[in-house]
Chain A
């Protein structure tokens, strides 16, 4: 097998492992659209990274977290429904990223690679970012697991029990931002959320515990990455979209399996 294929598998597999548990939380907390909004803002982060001469991943983290905080502040004022706010921020920040990128005339950026991913050009540096950042995110998630579940079940109860609800929500947003930053290269900013929610949604029917669902989502994600990559190589298809199509196919297959009750 070619080296670039192995690197692609390692990168996609690493992202899928991380996306399992985190994506389960996105599903449980009904934050799919929120994840979409954050990932759409990532392009602005990339541009910012280039402008300031720092790693684009850091730019993405900064923009995602700022957007998450802005969203929390806007929601407190309650003038508009959450989905309207998300729509404004999502498309506003994506367009702002595209416009800002156009201003960087001296820089030649492969826009398609950022929008839809470029999994076959993964570098060793990307792999280090994925597994380093992924390890940090997994450790953080493991540490906060029980309390994040409690906050997901009922925020008021968690608050009365003395849990730092706002800090936990912020920590969760940071984890999402981290995943977006490292997954951008693999599936592209337009498709990141699908890697978070499709395997988790496919795992739901077969899981009896939160951990079971998270683990199965990771496994299904890895299968989708492998299948998508193989299809992409065999038939010369775009990598990121192939992975997402494979995940969606797994979801459909899963929903056809009869369950014993």
Chain B
């Protein structure tokens, strides 16, 4: 067993996380996708899951959301925790006539004022009367943010889209989410496919490859040997970037994609 790097965050146990896992294990048939994974999200904290394709990031998020039953271990949540989920994408059948405004009102009884406020906070007021099938992937992400906000979430869970949204749009979305976090004090659990955009706006990074390889502050994780083993040459770019993380945007705008790689054990 490797010890979490740089040090185990013991304050988590006492401050009371929003949601956490205990030795969470998930298998698909014979393949163990998640092996005794322990993560926790604190109130007001942005936690980012990174890892190569097939590392179990989406599976972990689905287990935390209760969409998937664990084969071992447990997923725990604060009692009455309100979770706002933003899925990777949402495709509504063409045959269903549905405006954005109406889409937002489907999930709980809401007033027109509440819908207008959520649209405003997510920056998509102009889309209110558009059909959900006609808006772009980036716009849909923001509509999904508005939808999540209507539930006044304690924890925002976001599975970031892969290629549907351009880097610029993605950066804007994260700025929005950072604002939401500050204003509302909610925790954020995020699956990232794009290290550059995410790292500067993250409190804690969890590097996943079937198990938790390493976790900690972005600048610490980016120096961790297991992280380098996972992301190889791209990690260097990232380390430089994180060093300047008081800047709002990546200077070269380069996208770091997930790639296959074996995670080393300590």
Contact = CB atoms under 8 A, between A and B. Distances in A.
Interface string A131-155: 0000000000000001001101110
Contact of A160 (B85, B99, B102): B85
Nearest to B98: A210
A29 B92 CA distance: 10
B201 to A, nearest CB: 23
A209 interface: yes
Contacts of A29: 93
B97 A153 contact: no
Given A28-B93, A154-B87, A160 B67 contact: yes
A204 interface: yes
A160 B66 contact: yes
Contacts of B151: 161
Nearest to B107: A161
A212 B147 CA distance: 23
A159 B93 contact: no
A30 B93 contact: yes
Interface in B97-140: 97-99, 102-103, 105-108
B96 A157 contact: no
A10 interface: no
Given A153-B92, A157-B87, A146 B106 contact: yes
B97 A150 contact: no
B90 interface: yes
B187 to A, nearest CB: 15
A160 B65 contact: yes
B95 interface: yes
B52 to A, nearest CB: 24
B67 A156 contact: yes
Given A27-B95, A207-B97, A153 B67 contact: no
B97 A149 contact: no
A28 B85 contact: no
A26 to B, nearest CB: 10
A149 B66 contact: no
The 9 closest A-B pairs by CB, nearest first: A160-B85, A150-B106, A28-B96, A207-B97, A27-B95, A161-B107, A160-B65, A149-B106, A208-B97
22 contacts: A28-B96, A146-B105, A146-B106, A149-B106, A150-B107, A153-B98, A153-B103, A154-B87, A154-B90, A156-B67, A156-B87, A157-B85, A157-B90, A157-B147, A160-B66, A160-B83, A160-B85, A161-B107, A161-B151, A204-B95, A209-B99, A210-B98
Interface of A: 27-30, 146, 149-150, 152-154, 156-161, 201, 204, 207-210, 212-213
Interface of B: 65-67, 83, 85, 87, 90, 92-93, 95-99, 102-103, 105-108, 147, 151
